[in-house]
Structure 1
Amino acid sequence: MGMGTCCCLCWNGWTSGSLFLPSWSITFLLQFGRTEVIDNTLNPDFVRKFIMDYFFEERENLRFDLYDVDSKSPNLSKHDFLGQVFCTLGEIVGSQGSRLEKAIAGIPGKKCGTIIVTAEELNCCRDSVLMQFCANKLDKKDFFGKSDPFLVFHRSNEDGSFTICHKTEVVKNTLNPVWQAFKISVRALCNGDYDRTIKIEVYDWDRDGSHDFIGEFTTSYRELSRGQSQFNVYEVNILNFSLFILRKWIKLRTCNVCLSNWSIPICLFDRTQINFTVAIDFTNGNPQNPYCNGIDGVMEAYYRSLKSVQLYGPTNFAPVINHVARYASSVKDGSQYFILLIITDGVISDMAQTKESIVNASKLPMSIIIVGVGPAEFDAMEELDGDVVRVSSRGKYAERDIVQFVPFRDYIDRSGNHILSMARLAKDVLAEIPDQFLSYMRVRGIKPSPAPPPYTPPLHVLQTQI
């Protein structure tokens, strides 16, 4: 993810911002980076972007601290504190247009202005590219024949070295080969850096492995992405013993960027509505009206039911799965997705019916999370999870794996660190939702709507770097 815009900040002088991320100790913050300094403005528009990984299943807390810079000292205590903002990465990604606007706080009794933070997904890390190369008038390397040429692609590293990332097939006995088209991810080809050097070597294949070097050339993904043109005809340079350069050429025939359609940030950009249902394993005091308004409503219903709860079986999953599935079956266009959370402390009583319900629900925009509470044996839940063997019923297998089972007892921290326990539990409870969501969209061939246009800030003053 890339981010970084700020406006409507009420201060004088030079301005700068710092981003802090929490470490696993929860109470200790690590500084992730600092923006550039912008000279003499109350409405800075920071250019420097921060790239970080976004995990749908984790709560990634952020803190933005803002300062009025008084000198070139890197020590923040030497500068005037202007306020701070707390948020999560999920808040930014999930905001309309992935643009979060929050009031700056931190100085009692003073209005400190507003910060605007925007995020965008780095699509280049998910894209693939389909390419085909041909060559003309390569060197003859074989005594009885011509050459058996193939290409080797190298990605350049930060230290200047190269790593092999692809080899083509061998085209036998020709000086004018046409290699088959191949698909490779942009990340593998250039680590998402469009201008990073890509080195391509040409060899004549030999059975004993001592392949003869024919020549090489360099390019970049930015050049390759232009497709078939005069920019993608490359001279193959060969330096012989008399230091005379022989010139052959290789030509890019086709280059098509294959966009990876769906990702969780795109789901949020696309405004897919997530519907959440909670089923708790006890008899509800008002089964005719099981609906609740938000998490507070769930907790209120839970406390109210404790007064009349009946703590005995049976424990049936199929009715509640079918209940949510009826809603999911009416919306299959990708505009909505349904998540069912089942909290249970008992052994399931309707295993066969539950398996059939899961198999049927696997065709729908739906996921099921089961949290087992207490010391009971949850072997049946592990079977429903389907990570090892896909759930089946009456000879039919589930189309997708849509169930995630988590035993609550595995997340009780004996040291008393309940905050860390809750974070670990939340992470694992949601761990499979992204892939389950994406698998439904891909199987159904549903394409995301175009992302909204990026936020365009107002004109800003000249930036000054220190």
Structure 2
Amino acid sequence: MATSMCVSHLYLRLSCTDLRDADITSKSDPVVVVTQYDRFEDKYTEVGRTEIVRNTLNPSFVKPVRINYHFEEVQKVLFRVYDADDGEIDELSTLGSAETTLGTIVGSIVTTLPLVQNDNKKRGTITIVAEETSEIQEEYYFTFTGRNLDKKDFLGKSDPYLLFECPLPNGEYRTTYKTKHIVNTLDPDWSEICLSFENLCGAREDQEIRVSCYDYDDDSADDLIGMFTTTWKEMMKARRGLKISWECISPKKKMKKKNYINSGRIFLRKLRVEKIHSFMDYLYGGCQIHFTVGIDFTGSNGDPREPSSLHFIDPSKPNDYMRALVAVGNVCEQYDSDKLIPAFGFGAKVPPNNEVSHEFPVNFNSTNPYCSGIAGVAAAYQTAIQTVTLWGPTNVAPIINHVAKFAKDAGQSEMANHYYVLLLITDGEISDMDETIQAIIEASYFPMSIIIVGVGSANFSNMKDLDRGGSYGMLYSSESSKRFAERDIVQFVPFSHPDRQFASAEDLAKEVLAEIPDQVVGYYRGKKLRPMRRVATQPPV
């Protein structure tokens, strides 16, 4: 599917404790310079600095540092504290430094790190608090009713609905919203509707909005009951609890009848405003991103002892499985509090019985398939590739179902606290396509996303169908039942295919992870679950 990078603007608010005193007659005058690693330039570049706080070893800085945050990247940041005598700083005035990633800061709310001095001794701490700076976005829910509308149907009353329109520069009108019609009534109570400030009136509060009330006809053109004009500013009065109404005027009747008053009234009975929560809001609320890895050990990868194999272990450089694993995993593990990552293989004959398994722990510990971070997964993979016998077929439904069981349990909760991401790395077409489609459809109802990375030069056409959803735009199980997925949860990217080359593994990670924030927010919004209220805790130094 099309990607849209998740970019948030953060304010980093900083404070320090127990700094080294670099002055003789007074205390230090600390300032923090924040730099970010640029992998293209292979150096750290300054993104901002605090003000100088005079004569203190425990500064709390007022000026925040603004920085762009990308979920799909590992963004290294370096905090260097200086004693700024006379406003000047240099290496000799360094009081200490600390390095971490933005992902770690975002996942922790409050991050306290030890400051390392030039002699590698630790003295003092720096505390970082991240706040999202994007403007608060809101959704507006309106409840409209109509009373004493004109009767338009010969054998009944009317089937009224509302049509909202905004004028164009050429004098024409564009439709911005249409309610559902209500059958056979002159006093309709329409269901609550969500109207966008941007779409309804171009985000201009004084822009004219034309609202027309029509009688729906299924066998002829709809009949106009009446219309009125309003503005966003006027409708916002209902936010203060005011009851607003408009006369519904029929232009034809008004011209023909001298005693014409109106064709009924339209009332705005209620206006409800809700904040649109962002991905950052859910992370700040304590939502944990649980990461699971699935690795293809089928025979189509080639004999791992041969250099032509996709699983060949070359001491001088990692193979594509390792590159994809590390690039994507390094991003995801930042949001996993315990850094314990379950990893499974599929498609190999596994000791001691030498039977084919499509869901075996890569560390061969069936009671504890968790590895210590991505480094632990990589080490277990390198051991496993020398232990198992590559076989087949390429069945991925078992691993999807395995993770979906945990996601299903999390989905029973009324809290937005656990979301699951499954990374599948494979070299070819899926053998159990029908079962995989069914597994993905089931998983789409749970807090879960699936990333599929294709390595090698095989034909990945059915993988693309899992991502794009086929001809219907959304994955469905079969032509007969057409049970559709609840939402799009699959992102497929070929890593080393001749038709698609990435400049680096980091670029791969950016693309495959770009949809995760929207998928997380989309799931919880669909369930009407707000971010939790999280109490910040100080992690141990």
TM-score exceeds 0.5? yes
In the other structure, the counterpart of 1:93 is 106
- State the SS of the aligned residue for 1:406: strand
In structure 2, what is the Cα distance between the partners aligned to 1:15 and 1:425? Answer: 40
In structure 1, what is the Cα distance between the partners aligned to 2:446 and 2:208? Answer: 51
In structure 2, what is the Cα distance between the partners aligned to 1:410 and 1:447? Answer: 40
In structure 2, what is the Cα distance between the partners aligned to 1:181 and 1:442? Answer: 14
In structure 1, what is the Cα distance between the partners aligned to 2:392 and 2:116? Answer: 52
In structure 2, what is the Cα distance between the partners aligned to 1:310 and 1:203? Answer: 71
Of 337, 358, 361, 2:440 maps to 358
- State the SS of the aligned residue for 1:10: coil
Q: 1:130 to 1:111 in 2, by over 3 A?
A: same
In structure 1, what is the Cα distance between the partners aligned to 2:522 and 2:208? Answer: 40
- State the SS of the aligned residue for 1:347: coil
In the other structure, the counterpart of 1:398 is 485
In the other structure, the counterpart of 1:2 is 11
In structure 2, what is the Cα distance between the partners aligned to 1:204 and 1:352? Answer: 49
Q: 1:355 to 1:29 in 2, by over 3 A?
A: same
1:285 aligns with 2:350: yes
Unmatched segments (≥5 aa) in structure 2: 1-9, 22-26, 144-164, 168-175, 178-192, 211-232, 242-268, 298-347, 352-359
Deviation of the 1:103 alpha carbon: 0.9
Question: Is the contact between residue 372 and residue 378 of structure 1 (CA under 8 Å) also seen in structure 2?
Answer: yes
- State the SS of the aligned residue for 1:339: strand
What's the CA shift string for 1:414-433, capped at 9, x where partnerless?
Answer: 9xxx9x71211221221111
- State the SS of the aligned residue for 2:504: helix
TM-score (norm 1): 0.66
Question: Is the contact between residue 370 and residue 404 of structure 1 (CA under 8 Å) also seen in structure 2?
Answer: yes
In the other structure, the counterpart of 2:464 is 382
1:452 aligns with 2:535: yes
Report the AA paired with residue 422 of structure 1.
Answer: A
Question: Is the contact between residue 390 and residue 397 of structure 1 (CA under 8 Å) also seen in structure 2?
Answer: yes
Structure 2 counterparts to residues 146-161 of structure 1, below 5 A: none
Report the AA paired with residue 507 of structure 2.
Answer: R
In structure 2, what is the Cα distance between the partners aligned to 1:109 and 1:358? Answer: 50
Question: Is the contact between residue 98 and residue 114 of structure 2 (CA under 8 Å) also seen in structure 1?
Answer: yes
In structure 1, what is the Cα distance between the partners aligned to 2:51 and 2:119? Answer: 27
1:344 aligns with 2:423: no
Of 513, 524, 530, 1:441 maps to 524
In structure 2, what is the Cα distance between the partners aligned to 1:82 and 1:121? Answer: 28
What's the CA shift string for 1:94-133, capped at 9, x where partnerless?
Answer: 11xx11100111411543311011112236343356799x
Report the AA paired with residue 5 of structure 1.
Answer: L
- State the SS of the aligned residue for 2:429: coil
In structure 2, what is the Cα distance between the partners aligned to 1:184 and 1:50? Answer: 31
Question: Is the contact between residue 139 and residue 195 of structure 2 (CA under 8 Å) also seen in structure 1?
Answer: no
What's the CA shift string for 1:70-107, capped at 9, x where partnerless?
Answer: 2245xx33972222221111111111xx1110011141
Question: Is the contact between residue 417 and residue 532 of structure 2 (CA under 8 Å) also seen in structure 1?
Answer: no
Of 392, 406, 430, 2:513 maps to 430
Question: Is the contact between residue 130 and residue 181 of structure 1 (CA under 8 Å) also seen in structure 2?
Answer: yes
Structure 2 counterparts to residues 102-141 of structure 1, below 5 A: 102-122=113-133, 124-128=135-139
Question: Is the contact between residue 266 and residue 451 of structure 1 (CA under 8 Å) also seen in structure 2?
Answer: no
- State the SS of the aligned residue for 2:197: strand
In the other structure, the counterpart of 1:324 is 403
Structure 2 counterparts to residues 67-216 of structure 1, below 5 A: 67-73=82-88, 76-77=89-90, 80-95=93-108, 98-122=109-133, 124-128=135-139, 183-184=196-197
What's the CA shift string for 1:280-320, capped at 9, x where partnerless?
Answer: 11116254845232334433432232223323321111121
Of 364, 371, 376, 2:453 maps to 371
In structure 2, what is the Cα distance between the partners aligned to 1:70 and 1:23? Answer: 29
In structure 2, what is the Cα distance between the partners aligned to 1:131 and 1:10? Answer: 58
Of 265, 268, 282, 2:280 maps to 265
In the other structure, the counterpart of 2:78 is 63
Q: 1:204 to 1:103 in 2, by over 3 A?
A: closer
Question: Is the contact between residue 453 and residue 494 of structure 2 (CA under 8 Å) also seen in structure 1?
Answer: yes
Q: 1:51 to 1:376 in 2, by over 3 A?
A: same
Report the AA paired with residue 285 of structure 1.
Answer: V
- State the SS of the aligned residue for 1:20: strand
Unmatched segments (≥5 aa) in structure 1: 133-149, 153-167, 170-179, 191-198, 206-218, 230-252, 456-466
In structure 2, what is the Cα distance between the partners aligned to 1:130 and 1:398? Answer: 27
In structure 1, what is the Cα distance between the partners aligned to 2:131 and 2:398? Answer: 41
Deviation of the 1:275 alpha carbon: 2.3
In structure 1, what is the Cα distance between the partners aligned to 2:44 and 2:499? Answer: 25
TM-score (norm 2): 0.58
Report the AA paired with residue 336 of structure 1.
Answer: H
Deviation of the 1:15 alpha carbon: 1.4
Question: Is the contact between residue 362 and residue 401 of structure 1 (CA under 8 Å) also seen in structure 2?
Answer: yes
In structure 2, what is the Cα distance between the partners aligned to 1:65 and 1:111? Answer: 13
In the other structure, the counterpart of 1:299 is 378
Report the AA paired with residue 116 of structure 2.
Answer: A
In structure 2, what is the Cα distance between the partners aligned to 1:79 and 1:71? Answer: 14
Q: 1:40 to 1:255 in 2, by over 3 A?
A: farther
Q: 1:316 to 1:448 in 2, by over 3 A?
A: same
Deviation of the 1:21 alpha carbon: 2.0
In the other structure, the counterpart of 1:275 is 290
In the other structure, the counterpart of 2:7 is none
Report the AA paired with residue 321 of structure 1.
Answer: I
